Amino acid sequence: MRDRLLMLQDADESAYLEHICKRAGVAVHYCAEQFENDGSPVSTIVKGVKRAMASEYSRELSTKVFQGACRLVQLGYRQGGMAGYRELS
């Protein structure tokens, strides 16, 4: 899950998903981060800060992508495309 829990827009949601994984016996490892997820007070603080940073980044990126799509529409380009599948009748 390459640190997908840190990339959610809601820091509380990522903490909740980590909690669900722990309750199910699934170990959560943050492979792209410089800290151990050992439950220590320091790692808990670092995770909170990282989650807040990741959610802010995600919100900013979402805004930029939306503005870019709007700009392309204003320039006359069509957004979207055909579905990658076809319904069988």
> What does the pLDDT profile of the chain (89 residues) look like in tens digits?
445 555 556 778 888 888 899 899 998 888 877 778 888 888 889 888 888 888 888 889 999 999 999 999 999 988 777 767 766 76
Q: What is the 3-state secondary structure (H, E, C) of 25-52?
A: CCCCCCCCCCCCCCCCHHHHHHHHHHHH
Closest C-alpha to 49, from 65, 29, 33: 33
All structural domains of the chain with their residue ranges: 4-74
Q: Which amino acid is at 81?
A: G
- Measured in degrees and rounded to the nearest 5, phi and psi for residue 7 equal -95, 5
The pLDDT of residue 8: 57
pTM tops 0.85? no
